[in-house]
Amino acid sequence: MKESKPEVWLRGPLPNIPLLLQPPAHALIQSSEEIERYLADFPDDKLWTKTVGRASVGFHLQHITGVLDRMMTYAKSEQLSELQFKYLAKEGKSNEDISTNELVSAFQHKVEDALVYFKTLSESTLKESRTVGRKKLPSTTLGILFHAAEHSQRHVGQLLVTKSFFNS
């Protein structure tokens, strides 16, 4: 029997990631690993299937990737691009031209980008005020990055439940 690794948060600190960003970094890596494990061999023809009125696996994959991308933009105190708005408009819409593996890979690349960004941040930057969305709702850099991580974890759980309907 293959011995499994401990959860990411139990593997120790990640090099060059600020202390305050260790928990969000661990959560994003955990999400990435779990998605890869849970969706190994997931059939592409089930990617957009909704079960019991719930969002599809494809939606969850697109959504967590898009939210992570948008949260990184807000954390940088930037506005969303036209490309990001187009991506948002397509989240959850069936796209038979994309595979499960491609969506998993897109999320994993976005996690890698986030970790690179985390390494550039200082504690003082994490405490800076930021705004979110068109309504410019108040947050901080740390608040946005923490939300990106916990949001990913939430959707991984939902994705796992949705996927389980196909194993029955």
Which domains, from first to last, does the chain contain? 16-164 (1.20.120.450)
On the question of pLDDT at 168 being above 70, the answer is no
Q: pTM value?
A: 0.93
Tell me which DSSP letter residue 3 carries. P
| 2-21 residue pLDDT tens | 668 899 999 999 999 999 99
Residue 160, burial from CB neighbour count under 10 angstroms (0-12, 13-18, 19+): middle
What's residue 153's pLDDT? 96
Task: Give the Cα separation of 90 and 58 in Å (integer).
Answer: 11
